[in-house]
Structure 1
Amino acid sequence: MSRQRSMETILADEFVSIGELVRLTDSRYSTLKYYTEEGMLPFEQAEENLTRRYRRVETVALILRIRTMKSQGMSVPQMKEALLQR
């Protein structure tokens, strides 16, 4: 198990892990994993250890957008459709 990176390091990096997204957005790991599996959170696969890496700025903004849509009562299929129109 790797050591947690400091928030300063996370905020300086272009890419973050799903665990770091949990810390940045105060979201649940299972929620972010679900959104990833549904194709709502794009990621890049690091070849060396098959770790999913998310673009920090874009993904945090996307999570906040999904959170807003959810609070407006949108279903997952509706959110996916709205995200495709971006």
Structure 2
Amino acid sequence: MSRQRSMESILASEYVTIGELARLTDSRYSTLKFYTEEGMLPFEQAEENLTRRYKREETVARILRIKQWKSDGLSIPQMKEALGVNQ
């Protein structure tokens, strides 16, 4: 298992892992995994080790938007529609 990167290193990176996204957004790993599987969080697949990489700035913004919608009472299908995700 690899060592965690420092927050300074994460904030300087264009791409982050799902675990790093959880740290950045104070979200549960399992919640972000669900959003990824539902197509709500786009990612790129790194060829060398098949790790999913997320663009840090746009994905953090998307997670914060989803959290706001959730607190506003939107359902997952409504959020997916708002994000333009095919259902």
Same fold (TM over 0.5): yes
Within 1, Cα distance between the matches of 2:19 and 2:8? 15
The match for 2:41 is: 41
**How far did 1:40 drift?**
0.1
> What residue is the counterpart of 1:8 in the other structure?
8
Distance 1:75 1:23 in 2: 24
Amino acid at match of 2:67: R
Identity %: 80
Match of 1:28 in 2: 28
SS of the equivalent of 2:40 reads coil
Q: Please list every run of 5 or more consecutive structure 1 residues that lacks an aligned counterpart in the other structure.
A: none
Tell me the equivalent position of 1:81: 81
Runs of 5+ consecutive residues of structure 2 not aligned to the other structure:
none
1:38-77 Cα deviation digits (max 9, x unpaired): 0000000000000000000000000000001111100000
Alpha-carbon distance, 1:31 to partner: 0.2
The structural deviation recorded for 1:84 is 0.8
Length, aligned pairs only? 85
TM-score, length-scaled by structure 2 = 0.96
Specify the code of the residue in structure 1 equivalent to 2:50.
L
**AA partner of residue 49 (structure 1):** N
